[in-house]
Structure 1
């Protein structure tokens, strides 16, 4: 009885609604199977909108968001749904449902905007974390310097609203640390993925002690991906000793953890330390037992250092003089400042300095007698020294 009264009351609002629009209708026995009903704007009077799918148009209820089948897109079925499921709004006119549709559209737009702002804020947070990591700055730089700085700049130039949006970028100490860790993990996974796809790579490995007196084992890999690609691979801390067995165990643990094999190695480059090239327990020896086809090389930087120790007398004298000059300049802050001033004066004169000009420079400097002699010995040639002595 209630449904019939409601239906009577709502008939005045929808009496002019047209019937369903059908496409691809065919006359005959199977005509009902080929019907595809399309949405008509007048169906808004029943509280329904379209799902905006051209291939499978379906009515969507504005009250609770129910989605009906395409076959239900006829006035009688839409009206029955409204009267039986939502009798409290069945007497509303079309203007009411139009306002309801507009309100839902605005809410959806706001939600999309909030989601997009959250996505861009996350992206900005990662990019700032990357910048902090590249510059090797403390993780607190984001919240202590970068955040307040861009808040001031944006508020001054773009206004309060823009400042409120940009302040949503998370830059706390823990957030930056977590972002850097996530990027590091992602890069490592990508490198491992590339190595697995190429199945051949070379490793350059070295161990050294950092300023915190912790021994770090660092590895770089090289592989061919159209061009030669060099990537940082790992940095593992050696907890106690730094023997060849310890280095091999650390590298082998990394390979096992990431599903890599010693058969992927085509070359290993190390320095000449006994822990690396030892005949019986060196890292190279242990690696060759796993893969005898590995080609081993001695790092050319270390080879240059070894060559410098056995160079000829003339070159040795030049290197000794250069080391002596550097040590003299770096021994005291005053000497460093004096050298900078001398360099500036000599640069003005295009590096052509007469003995008298050099003497004037020395007189202006607060040198002791011994420091004056040392300075002239290093920076004055034999002719200039002889004139200065006279």
Structure 2
């Protein structure tokens, strides 16, 4: 019988935190998220992982790894949020407790909104993550729970998991104001999706498809010519990163050259922001990569000296950097639907503007592309049509997934309450408690002010 090993606090000194998977203690690297076996709970085996896969971190102290541990727990797409047990700062019972006793919740009668995301972790386990915004003295947002789905991941499975939690905590679906999900069939299915099941128990609940998810769907595909460049980048990165020896040699060469960076980044389709970061790092380190690949006689070494190939690398690097900034700007607490929709409207307008500037041969809106043209004295003409076509397709995709009409009309009463006709509210908006009455009060108040001399606004009368 194998000896049962125990996690020790000093393992954090070499970059490993504790993960409990179905009652079994396992070490997890706070840098890359890899989960090792229970038998690996030995200092020499954990050090072997650290020195083999993260040699530049071997000299880091505990405070560095502790910060990494805390950051990794906050990310949605890492194994630290997998539903296995961690010492999480957020108790999954907090919301139920706040709803029952918290200020402003009227002893369990406060409303709440949910955000759901189902994904698969590195152990191939399906996890359902749920976030909540609920009423207190101020609106509060926090992680509600993360639970593992034992077998299938149908809409009924997801609903049962959420429903059991709601009932266990003494809450009611009648308190649920809105539910935000991604676009998976299990979420949005008209008959069996979780949104359909929630509508059955609370027809008044408002359903939304996550705008961040739609932004990612709209920007995912590239044209064949631009995609061929990214397909060259991936094997280049893998050649250097997948071999521990190549990674060390490349890092040492960059250090000797005094380069700003010493490491490339891995691409993962599950990490929405990774593509832009990978392309940017490759473009910025193209000289170092070309030298290294030439020494290794790699077939793709010549790509790093081809102006047209580099031009087609500079453009997607720029556009994905902008998309990353857009995505990040829409994340975080207090980011409302109105705020995010205004960001997306502005970005769609920028796409149309960029298309026009590229057609005129101007590249100032794309920093890397513009700088590369100036430094290498290359013309845009050869790739101009490729870039224009991509911007046009990108604009069409954004309009398909995030229509202008939706961005302009949804929650219009929140943007311009004085211009909204109560009878024009959508079915979902009409179900919002007291909304119609409050809009009428606002309009009546404005009419009263106008009668006293505030003549700058001419509101529409309710029912006019």
Q: Which has the higher helix share?
A: 1
* Higher relative contact order, structure no. (Cα contacts within 8 Å, ≥ 6 residues apart): 2
Shorter-chain TM-score range = 0.3 to 0.5
**Structure index of larger Rg:** 1
